[in-house]
Structure 1
Amino acid sequence: MAGTNRVYAAQMAGLAVFGPDGESIGKVRDVVAGLRPDRRPPRVLGLVMEMATRRRIFVPMLRVTRIEAGAVMLATGTLNMRQFHQRPNEVLVLGQLLDARVTVAASGSPAMLVDAAMEQTRTRDWQLGKLAVRERTGRLGRRGPVQVLAWDQITGLAVAELTDQPQGVHQLLTVFDTMRAVDVASALHELPTKRRYEVAEALDVERLADVVEELPEEDQKNLVEHLGEDRATELLEAMDPDDAADLLAELSERDKERLLELMAPEESAPVKRLLKYSSDTAGGLMTPEPVIAEPDATIAEALAMVRNAELPVGLASMVFVCRPPSETPTGRYLGCVHIQRLLREPPSNLVGGALDTDLASLPPAAPLTEVTRYFAAYNLVCGPVLDDQEHLIGAVTVDDVLDHLLPENWRRSGLPDSDESAAAVQEAGAGNA
């Protein structure tokens, strides 16, 4: 399909970015425009592209050869691989403009900006020439039809106004709805603080919990401190206990105790147990909610447990078999059944007959180095943590181990690019230094 000279910004979200040889090198996450002091339409400076390694870089519009349905094509050149950082007088079209409250100059009516059209000029530059807005009419603020107006027919889009005014989040949440939690967290981290808080307040608490678990610790702490006690409590209850414990450990003692007090007892109890352990031990790394079955459960029942779509991949790799009670701390630990064994056994057989009783367990005080050696030695993605009385108190998964082995700011800086990815990007397009 031939390229077009008018594209609506909301349609850019998630578009695949291809190099000159047709290799996929990333996805569009936002559009960067430069606001002008006068009423002229802002120039589109470039795109924020997220690579496979989650690093977000700036791609100048000069390197975009065409925009098609479902794809952005880049010219040959070299891209600047530095992490994208927003500059003064720059605006993120998806992150900051969409849902902005504006005024239609001709009527003085309040409106909401629902989209912005990127148009290519005769000089081959791109600019935000047209805006799609929805007026709010009448005393009750009923929503009117969407109309497309020129940039200079709208007021309320100066940098200071965008920074200070409250802003809706409907369009941005629509964009986020198709993204993984880790990608939403990355996008949220790049947003201005005010905008980040607006999105967090609007997200469903379960979705917010998934996103917050992927944010850098400093962002997590700032977000919880911003949210009211009720919302922060709901968030902590929706998070996995080990992630909630890690977050609470970053707060002041006063705030930590207050939030634990507000949490429902059944939600706070496992978190309190985790807080007793140092974060760099098996007890601090473990989740208290692994997959647990009694020995008289059938293979079919165990498979149904690990088939739960909401269960993390690491926890789904192993079923722990224990005497009642079946919640941590359990009765006596008997052994585990690996998912491969479950798949090979007749569904009517009992899990008690398929136990691996030889796999070593971890004590809660085991340091991170010992936990790392354990996973490397046994080629596992999940391992049991037992107390002195042979009760299962939790399980450590390899993702939590990696999380603590990586540098503290790894979520913020992204992962190093592979040679293959870097080579593909160097041929794809050039960025400004």
Structure 2
Amino acid sequence: MTEPAPVLPETTVTTVHLSQVLRSPVVARSGQVIGRVDDLIVRLPGGDAYPPVSGVVVSMGGRRVYVSADDIAEFGVGRIVLSRNKVDLRGFERRDGEVLLRADILGHRLIDVAAAELIRAYDVELDHIGDAWVLVRLDTRRPARLFGLLKSTGGHAARDWKAFEPLIGHTDSITVRGLSGRVVGLKPAQLADLLEEADKREQGEILDRVHGDPELEADVFEELDPDEARRLLGERSDTEVAALLGRMRADDAADAIIDLRQSRRRRVLDLMPPGQRTKVITLMGFNPDSAGGLMNVDIVSCSPETTTAQALSSIAAATTMQPEALLKIHVLEESGRLAGVVSVITLLQTDAGTAVRELMDRDPVRVAASTDLTDIALLMADYNLYTVPVVDDNDRVLGVVTVDDVLEATIPEDWRRREPAPRPLREPEQRSAPGSATTPDGVTHP
């Protein structure tokens, strides 16, 4: 027997919450209730637009069917009224690029881009703009009580949808949604933190986004906790691991190789680019906590007769090198012995035609490859150094240790697990829907 339609007062609604729509009756034009709302569908548009509601998933006697937004005459709190009496009874099949608000947004975490952290949405706000209902805001405050369906007993902590990046988990939708510039615009360390916090499914989608930028992917793996990097590399083929390590800094790649199962090390090394393989094998021969194990083997060098302009040009051309290793240029004699170092600041403040011989520190602090981490840290602190050259017994430069390498190696492991101090956040530009206003608390209200 057909369920009678509820009698509701006439109201004009400009904003509704998903929780107010789910399980609401779906009423045919004749007034008969034909089912209940199971989910709402949006499609993520290109550009900077808000996603419009494209349809409704209706539960009808154990069957889930699709109703297009074009067939909805009235959409609001408590019921949805159709403009026709018949619906297509074929079972609902998700199409590529479709986002289900209940299943995909409430059921999964999102990336808060400004804070670079994973959050959970507890409700979704939809505004009526023009002729369409659009996804405009998310409620990120946990409701006071949950009874099966999402029910909020208090106010709403609404934030602009554009502040978030969804992790929907639907593989076929990733390509359609495209690579988000907001995600790949995060710093490698922030992406590494997200990966360490994410579950396996969330990690997969974040990595899929990052994989589109191979250099960024390498930078992210350099920042990962060694145990997490080992696990993620263990899920990739030898060829994939070799390609990734080939783009990483040689010292980080050497650490990653050592962390691989012994049975894989030789196979991965053989697949790496020859130049990178040579550097990695060299670094693997040193104690990881020594200058040799910490150093970066790529340096910028010049002869004593090189002019300031030529030296700066060499630094500018070293686009693939670690920026911290470019703070000083190493001046080498013809034999390869270290003659001195000169800082980039000195070069910038000197006439372009001046030879570096006249500017260099002729007796720079240097360390042997066997120097331990503590001694390096003390030298850097005593002499206010950001880089220290590593030399062999004949004073030929083997590489350079940078201050960030020393900090990473000296920070206790339990410190890395501390909650980071709050930092000022700059939200993405807020674009409020017509007829709405943003209050000082950052909550947008109609």
- The normalised TM-score by structure 1 is 0.60
Q: Is this contact kept in 2: 1:282–1:367, CA < 8 A?
A: yes
Q: CA deviation at 1:232?
A: 1.2
Residue 351 of structure 1 corresponds to 356
* Unaligned segments of structure 1, at least 5 residues: 15-36, 65-70, 81-88, 90-119, 131-158, 326-330, 423-427
- Cα distance in 2 for partners of 1:6, 1:179 equals 30
Residue 373 of structure 2 corresponds to 368
Work out which structure has the larger RCO, using CA pairs closer than 8 Å and 6 or more positions apart in sequence: 1
- Cα distance in 2 for partners of 1:322, 1:301 equals 15
Q: CA deviation at 1:164?
A: 8.9
Aligned CA distance change for structure 1 residues 124 and 246 (closer, same or farther; 3 Å) = same
- Cα distance in 1 for partners of 2:120, 2:415 equals 23
- Cα distance in 2 for partners of 1:74, 1:194 equals 23
- Cα distance in 2 for partners of 1:380, 1:9 equals 53
Q: AA paired with 2:373?
A: L
What's the CA shift string for 1:266-310, capped at 9, x where partnerless? 211111111111111111110000222222222112112333555
Q: CA deviation at 1:177?
A: 2.7
Secondary structure of 2:399's aligned partner: strand
Secondary structure of 2:219's aligned partner: helix
How many residue pairs get aligned? The number is 313
Aligned CA distance change for structure 1 residues 297 and 417 (closer, same or farther; 3 Å) = same
What's the CA shift string for 1:28-53, capped at 9, x where partnerless? xxxxxxxxx9989538599765787x
Q: Is this contact kept in 2: 1:44–1:126, CA < 8 A?
A: no
Aligned CA distance change for structure 1 residues 406 and 50 (closer, same or farther; 3 Å) = farther
The correspondence for 1:188, drawn from 190, 195, 219, is 195
What's the CA shift string for 1:242-276, capped at 9, x where partnerless? 11011111112221222112223221111111111
Q: AA paired with 2:186?
A: M
- Cα distance in 1 for partners of 2:315, 2:157 equals 50
Secondary structure of 1:213's aligned partner: helix
The correspondence for 1:417, drawn from 396, 417, 421, is 421
Aligned CA distance change for structure 1 residues 6 and 321 (closer, same or farther; 3 Å) = farther
CA RMSD of aligned residues (A): 4.6
Residue 395 of structure 1 corresponds to 400
- Confirm or deny that 1:381 pairs with 2:378: no
Aligned CA distance change for structure 1 residues 73 and 310 (closer, same or farther; 3 Å) = farther
Aligned CA distance change for structure 1 residues 407 and 415 (closer, same or farther; 3 Å) = farther
- Cα distance in 2 for partners of 1:197, 1:247 equals 20
- Within a 5 Å distance, the mapping from 1:230-379 to structure 2 comes to 230-307=239-316, 308=318, 310-324=320-334, 331-379=336-384
- Confirm or deny that 1:173 pairs with 2:179: yes
Secondary structure of 2:381's aligned partner: helix
Secondary structure of 1:383's aligned partner: strand
Q: CA deviation at 1:178?
A: 2.2
Q: Is this contact kept in 1: 2:238–2:264, CA < 8 A?
A: no
Deviates more, 1:190-199 or 1:363-372: 190-199
What's the CA shift string for 1:44-95, capped at 9, x where partnerless? 599765787x6x4758779x9xxxxxx99999xxx99xxxxxxxx9xxxxxx
* Unaligned segments of structure 2, at least 5 residues: 1-13, 19-41, 49-61, 65-99, 126-135, 143-147, 162-166, 426-440
Q: CA deviation at 1:368?
A: 0.8
- Cα distance in 2 for partners of 1:385, 1:273 equals 13
- Within a 5 Å distance, the mapping from 1:30-41 to structure 2 comes to none
Q: Is this contact kept in 2: 1:299–1:348, CA < 8 A?
A: yes
Q: AA paired with 1:317?
A: L
Q: CA deviation at 1:126?
A: 8.6
- Cα distance in 1 for partners of 2:384, 2:250 equals 25
Q: CA deviation at 1:390?
A: 0.5
Q: Is this contact kept in 1: 2:369–2:392, CA < 8 A?
A: yes
Which has the larger Rg? 2
Q: CA deviation at 1:396?
A: 0.4
The correspondence for 1:212, drawn from 208, 218, 221, is 221
Deviates more, 1:180-189 or 1:247-256: 180-189
Q: CA deviation at 1:314?
A: 1.6
Q: Is this contact kept in 1: 2:169–2:205, CA < 8 A?
A: no
Secondary structure of 1:207's aligned partner: helix
Aligned CA distance change for structure 1 residues 310 and 237 (closer, same or farther; 3 Å) = closer
What's the CA shift string for 1:177-233, capped at 9, x where partnerless? 322222222233333324434554643322211121111112211222212122211
Aligned CA distance change for structure 1 residues 319 and 61 (closer, same or farther; 3 Å) = same
Deviates more, 1:402-411 or 1:347-356: 402-411
- Cα distance in 2 for partners of 1:241, 1:300 equals 29
Q: CA deviation at 1:352?
A: 2.2
Secondary structure of 2:388's aligned partner: strand
- Cα distance in 2 for partners of 1:398, 1:415 equals 23
- Cα distance in 2 for partners of 1:225, 1:172 equals 27
Q: Is this contact kept in 2: 1:282–1:363, CA < 8 A?
A: yes
Aligned CA distance change for structure 1 residues 4 and 292 (closer, same or farther; 3 Å) = farther
What's the CA shift string for 1:344-372, capped at 9, x where partnerless? 22111222221101222011111110011
Q: AA paired with 2:213?
A: D
Secondary structure of 1:268's aligned partner: helix
Q: Is this contact kept in 2: 1:173–1:199, CA < 8 A?
A: no
